[in-house]
Structure 1
Amino acid sequence: MRILLLLISLLSFSFCNQEDWRKQMEAENQKVILQVEKDHKLIRAYASKNSDWVKSSKTKELAVQNFLKEIIQNNSQNDYYVSWDEKMSVIFPNTLGKGTLLDTTPLAEYKKVLETRESFAITEIKNRIQGKQYRITSIDWEKPRIYGDIIGHKPKTIKIQIDNQVIDLEQIKMVFGTKSGYKVGVIGP
């Protein structure tokens, strides 16, 4: 009988903990949902400012060329890769609700994910080019994608020649075009 009572009390205790765990998870989920809603309001507020790039290129091919030159020769990505402010004012208002991670992730977490992907991509590009002279031999583009007031141009392949070898550069994922010009907007490993 004692064993039966002990077993019943252990089982009821474990169910209580499980219920507490579920309530705790639901509370955490609500916090995330509220933060995402708050972040979406912030993005919509940026959209009303009708912003554009601080600096851009005249063509999408030139955007790729300028971006590569900037990260290889200048060791920066200040002018020809979108800044966080440009993401907030140009890209995010136009891509919000289009099925990206931005739709369900708080901005602080989304920024961390983007920065990590960007860091890996830049490292990979530098490792592929290794400071050598290079030349873009061709860029093959997918069909443009319309995101509100901006157009996304996704490279299928970017071929660059280093010495006598032609390699594919896969880290540039999207070039965005606005009324003022083109800028590399998404990079990743």
Structure 2
Amino acid sequence: MRNLLLLISLFSFSFCNQEDWREQMEAENQKVILRVEKDHELIRANSSKKSDWVKFSKTKELAVQNFLKEVIQNKSQNDYYVSWDEKMNIIFPNILGKGTLLDTTPLLEYKKVLETRETFAITEINNRIQGKPYRIISIDWEKPRMYGDIIGHKPKTIKIQINNQVIVLDQIKMIFGTKSGYKVGVIGP
């Protein structure tokens, strides 16, 4: 009988803690939802600024070429990859609500995800090219996608030649075009 009472009290305690846990999770979820709503307001406010790229390329092919040249020379992306400000003022206002992770993730967390993916992509590109002379031999494109005021150009394949070897780069995920020009906008592993 004593064991039965102990079992019942443990079960009751366990059940109460489970309810507290659910309430805590609901409270955390509400905080995240409010943060996402505030971030979306900030993005919408930025859309009225009508910004454009600080530095850009005249064609989408040249955007890929300039980006690769910069990554190989500097081991990072500076001018020919979108900056955080360009993402906030040009890309995010146009892709918000289009089914990306941006729709449900707070900006701070989204930025961390993007930076991690970008770091992996730059490392992979540098490991594949290894500082050797290369040339782009072909870029096959998917059909362009309209995102508000910008156009997304997704490369199917980017083939480069190093010596006599052809290598396919798939780390460049999207080039965005505005009225003024093109810039690599999404990279990842």
Residues 108-165 of structure 1: CA deviation (Å, up to 9, x unaligned):
0000000000000000000000000000000000000000000000000000000011
- State the match for 1:60 in structure 2: 60
Residues 90-119 of structure 1: CA deviation (Å, up to 9, x unaligned):
000000000000000000000000000000
Q: Is 1:144 the equivalent of 2:144?
A: yes
Q: Is 1:132 the equivalent of 2:120?
A: no
Partner Cα distance (2:45, 2:130) in 1: 42
After the TM superposition, list the runs of 4 or more consecutive aligned residues in structure 1 that deviate by more than 3 angstroms.
none
Partner Cα distance (1:77, 1:118) in 2: 9
Tell me the TM-score normalised to structure 2 length. Answer: 0.98
**Is this contact kept in 1: 2:138–2:160, CA < 8 A?**
yes
Partner Cα distance (1:19, 1:126) in 2: 50
Q: Is 1:99 the equivalent of 2:99?
A: yes
Report the CA distance between 1:3 and its aligned residue. Answer: 2.4
Mapping of residues 63-78 of structure 1, within 5 Å = 63-78=63-78
Tell me the TM-score normalised to structure 1 length. Answer: 0.98
C-alpha RMSD over aligned residues: 0.7
Report the CA distance between 1:76 and its aligned residue. Answer: 3.3
Letter of the 2:69 counterpart: K
Partner Cα distance (1:130, 1:2) in 2: 72
- State the match for 1:84 in structure 2: 84
Aligned to 2:138, what secondary structure does the other structure show? strand
Partner Cα distance (1:4, 1:76) in 2: 65
**Is this contact kept in 1: 2:71–2:77, CA < 8 A?**
yes
Letter of the 2:22 counterpart: R
Partner Cα distance (2:126, 2:5) in 1: 67
| Identity across the alignment (%) | 87
- State the match for 1:11 in structure 2: 11
Partner Cα distance (2:81, 2:4) in 1: 68
Letter of the 2:72 counterpart: I
Structure 2 runs not aligned, ≥5 long? none
Partner Cα distance (2:111, 2:59) in 1: 27
- State the match for 2:159 in structure 1: 159
Number of residue pairs matched?
189
